[in-house]
């Protein structure tokens, strides 16, 4: 989009009309098409999910449908234990869960409920009436062409109605904001962040111009995003290591001479899963702690074998290192140009969260 300009045409709202030209971008860059998935679950759909997981595993192992769940779990876990490339098995296991989720759960946002004349929390019936009245007076004013006196009179009526409409919108926003602040108590200030991460608020962090280390300002979206990433995920450069970091880096290069760790038990894995809050925001794949808990209930040996494989090989799977970063503006720094005004929230998949607990 190019040729941005503010139009002088009346918009009958508290916003101005922006005109622009849509055309092909010169020098496009490739971006990943990452879409967030939020599954809607209940007791019935979770039971259906467990059945779908077993059906998919049976198909992959070539088992019949009369195979007992316990025997199926033991067979699957033995295959995982014998696998030399544990990361491959983890990816395949997550793919099984995702396939079962897509068969069992509806996705949030797949069907939108139509709400008439209330797309924002501060909208009221009074605003609906004022908008219709202001639109009618605008049309009446614009259609009056042959009588200058009458046109000026209707113009004044329209301007007065428009000003009243804009003032009512502003007043409604202020009242709505005060009510929201009262709901977000000081005892639990994380409600707003949880609702934002869980997709329960239609609020988007505005992308603004930021100040670079040399004092200049970013000039486009790509430059702003690059500055954010450099600040949120700095490069691991050995030249910036302190003495302590140099010591740690040297220790990682030494061969391991300690006795192998004791393998995790099913009870330890179960305790780690049950200790996780089910309301925590999921990763981009939409797999929540509740979904993973129901998977563990039918395949406890298989999931235990996955974590013991990571322990045996001493790895942190690449798939679990990926994080979704959500920048949240710190209170009182909305107008700042410093990139430090953002506080990054990193969302990991549930498997990685349990691995860290273990």
Confidence grade of residue 122 (pLDDT, cut at 50, 70, 90): confident
Please check whether residue 209 is in contact with residue 224, taking contact to mean a CB–CB distance below 8 angstroms: yes
Q: Over 60: is that where the pLDDT of 145 sits?
A: yes
Average pLDDT over residues 337-352: 86
Give the model confidence (pLDDT) of 23-77 as tens digits: 665 444 444 445 667 888 888 999 999 999 998 988 888 877 667 888 888 988 8
* pLDDT reported for residue 13: 58
Q: Over 80: is that where the pLDDT of 313 sits?
A: yes
Q: Is the torsion defined by CA of 8, 9, 10, 13 positive or negative?
A: negative
User: What percentage of the chain has pLDDT greater than the value 70?
Assistant: 81
Give the model confidence (pLDDT) of 261-302 as tens digits: 788 999 999 998 888 877 777 777 788 888 989 999 999 999
- Distance between CA atoms of residues 108 and 56, nearest Å: 24
Give the max Cα distance, the chain. 97
A 10 A CB-CB count for 288 gives 22
Q: Over 50: is that where the pLDDT of 116 sits?
A: no
Query: Torsion-angle region of residue 62: left (phi > 0), alpha (psi -120 to 50) or beta?
Result: left
Give the model confidence (pLDDT) of 333-343 as tens digits: 878 888 888 88
- pTM of structure: 0.60
Q: Over 80: is that where the pLDDT of 260 sits?
A: no
148 alpha-carbon distance from chain centroid: 56
Give the model confidence (pLDDT) of 210-259 as tens digits: 888 898 888 888 888 888 888 888 888 888 888 888 888 888 887 766 67
Coil vs helix vs strand at 6: strand
Q: Is the torsion defined by CA of 96, 102, 103, 104 positive or negative?
A: positive
């Amino acid at each position: 989009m190019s040729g941005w300009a503010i139009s002088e045409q009346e918009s009958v709202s508290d916003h101005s009309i922006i005109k622009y030209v849509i055309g092909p971008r010169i020098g496009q860059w490739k971006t990943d098409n990452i879409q967030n998935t939020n599954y809607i679950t209940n007791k019935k759909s979770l039971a259906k999910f467990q059945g779908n997981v077993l059906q998919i595993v049976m198909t992959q192992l070539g088992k019949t449908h009369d195979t007992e769940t316990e025997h199926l779990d033991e067979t699957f876990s033995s295959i995982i234990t014998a696998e030399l490339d544990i990361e491959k098995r983890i990816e395949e296991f997550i793919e099984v869960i995702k396939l079962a989720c897509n068969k069992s759960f509806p996705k949030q946002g797949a069907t939108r409920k139509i709400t008439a004349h209330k797309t924002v929390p501060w909208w009221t019936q009074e605003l609906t009436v004022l908008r219709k009245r202001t639109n009618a007076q605008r049309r009446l004013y614009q259609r009056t062409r042959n009588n200058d006196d009458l046109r000026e009179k209707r113009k004044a009526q329209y301007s007065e109605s428009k000003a009243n409409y804009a003032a009512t919108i502003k007043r409604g926003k202020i009242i709505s904001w005060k009510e929201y602040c009262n709901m977000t108590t000081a005892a639990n200030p994380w409600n707003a962040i949880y609702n934002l991460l869980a997709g329960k608020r239609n609020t988007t962090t505005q992308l603004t111009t930021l100040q670079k280390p040399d004092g200049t300002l970013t000039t486009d979206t790509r430059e702003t995003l690059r500055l954010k990433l450099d600040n949120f995920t700095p490069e691991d450069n050995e030249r910036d290591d302190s003495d302590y970091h140099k010591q740690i880096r040297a220790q990682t290069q030494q061969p391991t001479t300690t006795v192998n760790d004791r393998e995790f038990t099913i009870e330890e894995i179960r305790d780690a899963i049950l200790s996780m809050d089910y309301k925590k925001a999921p990763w981009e794949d939409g797999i929540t702690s509740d979904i993973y808990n129901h998977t563990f209930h039918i395949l406890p040996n298989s999931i235990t074998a996955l974590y013991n494989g990571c322990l045996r090989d001493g790895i942190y799977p690449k798939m679990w290192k990926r994080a979704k970063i959500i920048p949240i503006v710190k209170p009182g720094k909305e107008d700042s140009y410093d990139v430090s005004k953002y506080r990054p929230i990193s969302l990991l998949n549930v498997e990685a969260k349990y691995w860290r607990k273990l």
